[in-house]
Structure 1
Amino acid sequence: MKKILSMFLIFVLALGVLTACGPQDDDTTAPEGDATEGQEEAGKPEKLVVWEDTDKSPALEEAIKTFEEEHGIKVEFKEVEMATKQRDQLRLDGPAGTGPDVVTLPHDQIGQLVIEGLIQEINVDQSVIDTFTESSILSQSYDGKLYGLPKATETPVFIYNKDLMEKAPETTDELFEISKGFSGDQYGFLALWDNYYFAHGVLGGMGGYVFNNNDGALDPTDLGLNNEGAVEGAAYIQKWYEEIFPKGIIGENGGAAMDGLFNEGKVASVMNGPWSFQGYADAGIDFGVAPLPKLPNGEPIKTFMGVKGWHVSAFSKNAEWATKLVEHLTNAENAKIRYELTQEIPPVKSLIEDPVIAENERAQAVAVQSSYATPMPNIPEMAEVWGPMATALQVVANQKAEPKAALDDAVKSIKTNIETNHGGN
């Protein structure tokens, strides 16, 4: 009897163990949604820190307010000069753990900062990427990976004195003929085409390129600065200097000379960027702005484009939330608010047709020209391009060398400098 009772007790105990190891009752299991929400809340930081450019923080206030309301995360911002100080300060504050989560940078610094390990790749949905122009997204990419989202773009445009030119011409051939009608100290059109930043628009429109683009990765060993199109573009530039442009706008003082002549009402039109608008307005010039006229081959002048973007610091401990903030700051609603407060043109497709930009002649011109533009290369090797190309273009402008020979010499120098300073990479 005792043996039977013992066996019965063993059976009951075993059954209890099996029951304890089995699935829990529904009323003791946390709902799946609550568990996910709890995990998200657990990973949510108390605050994120943003560095904005000087005198631009008012454009952040509404975007930060709505982000804080939606996610319950405090966002602090600090103004730090964008062109050099953010980069230099990030090098110090990032490793020290006192840096920001999000920074804003000119796109041509991206490659160097990636190499230094100061900013990190971001992952966003394709639907987010598709809201921006293709060229602006390309500007935020390095070696085929995305390192930021664009917030503003600028590129040279056609600016004309309405007292001297009724409307912007459609083609550079038409502009050339108009310019031949001016004489003495009066000029129909001026451009700084001995400066490669501006001259690229002509060389690029004719088929030249700096570094070949292989699926989003720029190849510094494949230069197109002396190909057939580039040579044709340099020859076209030489024609303008030979027949239209004065010698006084060649060299490092050319920009000041050109602006001075335009402000004095002696030039009907110039190629310049939106940074010049205020100075021309202060000089009392009634000027119009349009996309640049098309080249003789029917192609647009493919200007260099500069893009400012938002980036996530490599030292941020909250990269996913920092990326969410970058998405929020650059969405169409906040980009529109930013434009209204700063007049910086957002490369958001839907806003190009929005009345706030479409009905503003200057903004529309920059937006349209930006759609033709190509981002300045953001790889470190680009530093080796400016000097040799300036030399080549100046000897071309001064009629001291044939375009092909000048560009061949420039490319030879660029390749040597890249090999010396960048190990051929």
Structure 2
Amino acid sequence: MAHLKKGIALFLALVLTFGLAACSSSKDAASSGGKKVLTVSVEETYRNYVESIKADFEKENDVTVKIVEKPMFDQLEALPLDGPAGNAPDVMLAAYDRIGGLGQQGHLLEIEPSDTKSFGEKEMQQVTVDGKVYGIPLVIETLVLYYNKDLVKTPPKTFQELEDLTNDPRFAFASEKGKSTAFLTKWTDFYMSYGLLAGYGGYVFGENGKDSKDIGLNNEGAVEAVEYAGKWFKEYWPKGMQDNSSADDFIQQTFIEGKAAAVIGGPWSASNYKEANLDFGAVKIPTLPNGKEYAPFAGGKGWVASKYTKEPELAQKWLEYAANDHNAYVFYDETNEVPANLAAREKADKQNSELTSAVIKQYETATPTPNIPEMAEVWTGAESLIFDASSGKKSAQQSANDAVKVIKENIKEKYVK
């Protein structure tokens, strides 16, 4: 009898489940007028952009575009589980350095773009892994130099000029004699210091970021860069600049309070400076002491489609549509994020925005962040590279050697079969 009751209960549960599913499907179909539905996931700040461009796409493709609001990185983290469960969106935005791993792991739809001429080689490199294209570029990002227009008439063009600024008594750090806050940057953060290393000839992986067996973070140039960073920590900066956890807050506050002439930062910092009513400018990062250009990571984000989408053709159409000449500029107009699309970027560069022009100029010398999964080990392995040397715990060479050793060991353990 107990078995019979259990059987009846299970039967009723299944009926209820299928009934609810059928109900849900009916509601979705009804709400979309029987049309196909394409689900687009974006953060709340990008909803207006999608709302403003979706009507033409819906009309051209006889489809309903449904917008889901979710933080980009949360959506990407959830994709490996949500996709197979049928809960993932059809298309979403993804940071370039996440595209390679998700693509190789089989979570992103491989696409064949009908147009790649609208983007440069550097842009396409960031959505391509093992010769396969997994996205369409939308935005470019890189670091720039911010400067306080009330404190310096013309922005520094060389690092020697930045060093000269440390002699200006206006930037003397009261708590530590002989120290200066004229120029600040968080070189204890590998993302921030990589442009220095690369400018001296260091690199993450060989073959344009594809060969994880070839790591160039302890070559002669990289070591020279670490030594130059050490000069700033030892001769110019307050001790607090070595504290990776608090240095960024110190840098931002010092700049906002008018006690720093210049800082290196990303485009995302500009909103804080505007909010503080700071009269700031943005330019390309000054030339290094060796005469070479600072070469920070080139990043940004692009449109990608879930491998689990039931509408792969529609999904690819959306990727190209949302990043075309017109819509890429619409995105810039809405967000001030610099377009990856070349025509839209050229138009954006004519809008008299110092920050936009600075990002575009700096991007020319920037190095695409490797988008292979092994890059995850570099972030952790290199996190103390500058600190160990600048604090005097290790020589520049030893610090670089140790960082590379950790990276290689972790890659061997996790990726080499």
- Could you say which TM-score interval applies, normalised by the shorter chain? 0.7 to 0.9
Q: Which moved more, 1:382-391 or 1:229-238?
A: 382-391
Out of 132, 141, 149, the position equivalent to 2:119 is 132
Q: Which moved more, 1:163-172 or 1:195-204?
A: 163-172
Out of 241, 255, 262, the position equivalent to 2:233 is 241
Aligned partner letter, 2:172? G
- Equivalent position SS for 2:72: coil
Deviation at 1:336, TM superposition (A): 0.6
Distance 1:347 1:179 in 2: 37
Q: Does 1:336 align with 2:323?
A: no
Deviation at 1:53, TM superposition (A): 1.9
Instruction: Look up the match of 2:45.
Output: 55
Q: How does 1:2-401 map to 2 (within 5 A)?
A: 46-83=36-73, 85-125=74-114, 128-182=115-169, 183-185=171-173, 186-213=180-207, 218-250=210-242, 251-354=244-347, 357-401=350-394
Distance 1:88 1:351 in 2: 30
Deviation at 1:138, TM superposition (A): 1.4
Distance 1:395 1:303 in 2: 21
- Are the structure 2 counterparts of residues 170 and 184 from structure 1 closer, same or farther at C-alpha, using a change threshold of 3 Å? closer
Deviation at 1:160, TM superposition (A): 0.6
Mind listing any 5+ residue stretches in structure 1 that lack a counterpart? 1-44
Distance 1:89 1:226 in 2: 36
- TM-score normalized by structure 1? 0.83
Aligned partner letter, 1:231? V
Deviation at 1:124, TM superposition (A): 1.1
Cα deviations by residue, 1:282-321 (Å, 9 ceiling, x for unpaired):
2232111111112123322111122111111101222222
Deviation at 1:240, TM superposition (A): 1.8
Deviation at 1:400, TM superposition (A): 3.2
Cα deviations by residue, 1:180-234 (Å, 9 ceiling, x for unpaired):
33452252211111111010001011111101126xx611111011112211211
Aligned partner letter, 1:406? S
Distance 1:210 1:318 in 2: 37
Aligned partner letter, 1:280? Y
- TM-score normalized by structure 2? 0.85
Question: Given that residues 153 and 308 in structure 1 are in contact (C-alpha distance below 8 angstroms), is that contact kept between their aligned partners in structure 2?
Answer: yes
- Equivalent position SS for 2:211: strand
Cα deviations by residue, 1:32-65 (Å, 9 ceiling, x for unpaired):
xxxxxxxxxxxxx723221112221111123211
Report the aligned-residue RMSD. 1.9
Instruction: Look up the match of 1:35.
Output: none
- Are the structure 2 counterparts of residues 118 and 355 from structure 1 closer, same or farther at C-alpha, using a change threshold of 3 Å? closer
Distance 1:124 1:352 in 2: 20
Question: Given that residues 348 and 356 in structure 2 are in contact (C-alpha distance below 8 angstroms), is that contact kept between their aligned partners in structure 1?
Answer: no
Deviation at 1:72, TM superposition (A): 2.4
Question: Given that residues 104 and 129 in structure 2 are in contact (C-alpha distance below 8 angstroms), is that contact kept between their aligned partners in structure 1?
Answer: no
Cα deviations by residue, 1:367-388 (Å, 9 ceiling, x for unpaired):
2212221222222212211233
Distance 1:398 1:98 in 2: 49
Aligned partner letter, 1:92? L
Distance 1:51 1:123 in 2: 21
- Equivalent position SS for 2:313: helix
The structure with the larger Rg is: 1
- Equivalent position SS for 1:180: coil
Instruction: Look up the match of 1:18.
Output: none
- Equivalent position SS for 2:210: strand
Percent identity between matched residues is 38
Deviation at 1:281, TM superposition (A): 2.2
Cα deviations by residue, 1:77-126 (Å, 9 ceiling, x for unpaired):
2111102x21233233321234322121112212321233210211013x
Distance 1:396 1:331 in 2: 46
Mind listing any 5+ residue stretches in structure 2 that lack a counterpart? 1-34, 174-179
- Equivalent position SS for 1:300: coil
Question: Given that residues 136 and 307 in structure 1 are in contact (C-alpha distance below 8 angstroms), is that contact kept between their aligned partners in structure 2?
Answer: no
Distance 1:88 1:198 in 2: 24
Distance 1:256 1:281 in 2: 17
- Equivalent position SS for 2:286: coil
Aligned partner letter, 2:48? P
Residue correspondences, number: 375
Deviation at 1:356, TM superposition (A): 5.9
- Equivalent position SS for 1:276: helix
Distance 2:81 2:218 in 1: 40
Distance 2:89 2:348 in 1: 35
Question: Given that residues 102 and 312 in structure 1 are in contact (C-alpha distance below 8 angstroms), is that contact kept between their aligned partners in structure 2?
Answer: yes
Question: Given that residues 63 and 328 in structure 1 are in contact (C-alpha distance below 8 angstroms), is that contact kept between their aligned partners in structure 2?
Answer: no
Aligned partner letter, 1:74? T
Question: Given that residues 180 and 244 in structure 1 are in contact (C-alpha distance below 8 angstroms), is that contact kept between their aligned partners in structure 2?
Answer: no
Distance 1:374 1:168 in 2: 23
Question: Given that residues 140 and 148 in structure 1 are in contact (C-alpha distance below 8 angstroms), is that contact kept between their aligned partners in structure 2?
Answer: yes
Deviation at 1:355, TM superposition (A): 5.3
